[in-house]
Amino acid sequence: MQIDERREGQIVILAPHGAWDAATAPAFKERANTLVAAGSIRFAIDFSHVEFIDSSALGSLVSLYKKVKPTLNGDVRLFALAPDVHVIFKETRLDRVFQIVPTLEEAIRSFPT
Q: Give the nearer residue to other proteins in terms of CB position, either 10 or 92.
A: 92
How many residues touch other proteins under the rule CB under 8 A: the total is: 26
Residue 55 engages other proteins in binding (rule: CB under 8 A) = yes
Are 18 and 50 contacting, i.e. CB atoms less than 8 angstroms apart? yes
Distance of closest approach, residue 6 Cβ to other proteins, in angstroms: 26
C-alpha distances out from residue 62 to 9, 57, 109, 113, Å: 23, 9, 22, 24
Distance of closest approach, residue 21 Cβ to other proteins, in angstroms: 5
**Closest alpha carbon to 54 in 104, 89, 82:** 89
Q: Which stretch binds other proteins (CB under 8 A): 6-14, 16-24, 40-48, 104-112?
A: 16-24
What is the Cα 80 distance to its own chain's centre?
11
Residue 56 engages other proteins in binding (rule: CB under 8 A) = yes
What is the rounded distance in angstroms from the CA atom of residue 72 to the CA atom of residue 53? Answer: 27
What is the rounded distance in angstroms from the CA atom of residue 47 to the CA atom of residue 76? Answer: 13
Would you mind telling me the total number of residues written for the chain in this entry?
Answer: 113
Q: Which of residues 63-82 bind other proteins (CB under 8 A)?
A: 63, 65-66
Per CB under 8 A, the list member of 27, 33, 94, 111 interacting with other proteins is 94
Residue numbers at the binding site for other proteins (CB under 8 A): 19, 21-23, 52-56, 58-60, 62-63, 65-66, 83-85, 87-88, 91-94, 97
